[in-house]
Amino acid sequence: MSVQSDLLSPKWLQSSLLGRLALVSADLKSWWDDSFLGKIQGSLEPWAHKSAFGSWLMPLALGWAGILFLFAPFTSTEQIGIFLLAGAVLWAGLFLTKKQSLSPLTLPVAAFWAAGVVSATASIHAATSLEGLVKFTLYILVFALLSRLCQSPRYRTILLGCYLLAVLPVCAEGIRQWIVGVPPQPGWVDAESTLADATRIYSYLGNPNLLAGYLVPAVPLGLAGAVLFKAWSAKAVAASGAVLGAVCILLTYSRSGFLALGAMVLVLSLFGVQTLSQRLSSQQRFWLWPSLLGAGVLALVVISIVAPSVVERFATIFSSKGDSSSAHRVNVWVASFQMFQEHPWLGIGPGDRTFKVVYPFYQRGSYDALGTYSIPLEIAVEMGLLGLSTFLWILWTTGVWGMSIWRKLMTKNPRTALLVACCLTAITGLMVQGFVETVWYRPQVQTLWWLALAMIAGICLEESPSPALGAKRAS
């Protein structure tokens, strides 16, 4: 039996190739029950029912996730890596002791991981690729664990609150740096630019672009929290996180952050117009877009008056040769594309260390790099077309199911619909930034990406009682 037709629209999607790619009519439950892993899952459930450890697994997993999002921006990458290992152990315990419904996002994510395994196995740089595969696997297990937690509305609220609580001190430190005027680090701004002495905040994350990436999800998720949270104090924390997050993104002078912020404003506007148009008269709908455009123009005018240096910094995006940072990225992109052309199918192997080993053979002049400065290009270089196609599969499936659930819940459960819309917006913002930046690979940012995907996966299972998904609400 396939997914019920009222969940997924438009109707043509259910029978089209694009719909089949998004698994809109796949009998995932039957496939999973017949698979080897499906038979192993929950094999220790009888023991878990009698064991205190089994009853505490879900609360322990929630505590682990809450600590992760509360302390990630104040913790080193190495420490977060060790903490992710603990999460992998918790996931294994839950996998063996509790039956889990299979979300439509599970198969694309599993295919993405399998592509990483194939790429690492085929790589001639076995040691570094194996290390990269371990890190990659930990992120996949973060998604697996979070998707279980996010089937519960209460757990989703707690995780959202933990992230937004962490955002406030991060923003406060960034604003303090702006007020005192922390000196810019070499390479952050073109030395010949009029902005060479500009203050670029970085808060506790140590890098303006990384700070911008960390705060990108705070804007839409803060908006969601301001509506979802019941207590006024919690609503104030969420709204403050959204507003201060947007302000601090501007103060980072991160051009990729500017692009992400603009893309999120556009996506949120589209969701807002679609939602409001169902509640407004035809005359009010006529003035909706002009009002939004006028508000946008007014916001740009205010920014240009209050912070003209932000506008000047944004303008350098369109100057590939006049700005040293832009020129550096262009040269790295060219060299990285040459790497991809010579390893098109399976790539060079996953991991930043593998990239560092191979890149010097393609380096153009003095333009060294730690990554490709582009997520799609990085995936293509490390894992070839196999990895890139599975990653695009994740994006497509997430978009189709996210939009479908949002449509379904707009009238039935508008608060949850808003959360879905904000998760899709956060994913969009991170991907727009990721086209010209690779801070996504830092755990402080990538865990937020998987959280947004996990929330959509959890809501999908919660809202779809179809036997094809085998949905079962988490306790």
Alpha carbon 466 to its chain's center: 27
- pLDDT per residue as tens digits for the range 300-350: 777 777 777 777 777 776 664 556 777 888 899 999 999 999 999 999 999
Whole-model pTM above 0.85? yes
pLDDT digits (tens, 9 = 90+) for 44-88: 777 777 776 677 899 999 999 999 999 999 999 999 999 999 999
Say how far apart CA 336 and CA 330 lie, in whole Å: 10
Dihedrals phi, psi of 368, to nearest 5 degrees:
-80, 165
Task: Kindly list the distances between the CA atom of residue 206 and the CA atoms of 43, 210, 253, in Å, as whole numbers in the listed order.
Answer: 45, 8, 14
**How far does CA 325 lie from the centroid of its chain?**
25
Residue partners of 351: CB distance under 8 A and separation at least 6: 128, 129, 131, 132, 133, 135, 136, 382
When pLDDT is averaged across residues 169-182 and rounded to a whole number, the result is 95
Task: Tell me the mean pLDDT in the region 459-466.
Answer: 73
3 state DSSP class of 421: helix
The answer to whether 244 and 169 are in contact (CB under 8 A) is no
Residue 11 has pLDDT above 70, yes or no: no
Q: Which residue has the tokens 């179809």?
A: 466
Q: pLDDT per residue over 414-457, tens digit each?
A: 999 999 999 999 999 999 999 999 999 999 999 999 999 999 99
Residue 118: is its pLDDT beyond 90? yes
